[in-house]
Amino acid sequence: KQALSISKIKNQHQVNKHEKKKKREEDRAKDKIDLIIDRMNETDYIFSNGMRYVKPYYHNQLVNVKQRWVSRPLMEIFLSEFSVSELYFEESLKKGTILVNNKIPEASALLQLNDILFHRLHRHEPGVANMPITIVADTGTILAIDKPPSIPIHPTGSYRHNTVLSILARDHGFTSHLYPLHRID
């Protein structure tokens, strides 16, 4: 009897463990979808003269301090790595749109590993051709598209919304994560 009840407890523990893991995965998937929807609501597109533009918007950037930034002054990092002017940097510190670990730092603050930089910036994305992204095939697992040449696939550099992934989410309702697999030119 005792061996049977121990076995039953172990089985129930495995079931509970599996259910908790499944719930965590579902919650993570929902969080990812919520993030995509939040990003979609961040701004709108403007169409003009054959181009797709993104209305300027505010973006909160969170960055973990990189090894190469350790023990370097904050101002030096912003001037060299973020390509901002000294005036912009000083005004941003005064406005509180640059934080280190949720606190307004001194310009001379030396960054440490595990510090988190917050930077709220006003983004202006470059325009891209206002040409359709054609869905060639959708199997439910694989989505094949034909995209215009001027549109980047994923957020990179100056592009966050004027990308294939963002346009597919906004214009075609693909709000679950899409992962680029291959590019055929």
| Set 34, 44, 138, 185: catalytic member | 185
Q: Which of 78, 139, 82 is nearest to 106 (CA)?
A: 78
Find how far residue 19's CA is from the centre of its chain: 29
Query: In what helix (H) or strand (E) does residue 138 lie, and over which residues does it extend?
Result: strand 134-138
Contacts 24+ apart (CB under 8 A), 35-44: 36/169, 36/175, 36/176, 36/177, 37/175, 39/160, 39/161, 39/166, 39/169, 40/166, 40/169, 40/170, 40/175, 42/161, 43/161
Q: Is 138 a catalytic residue?
A: no
Residues 162 and 155: their CA atoms lie apart, in Å, by 8
By annotation, the residues acting in catalysis are 185
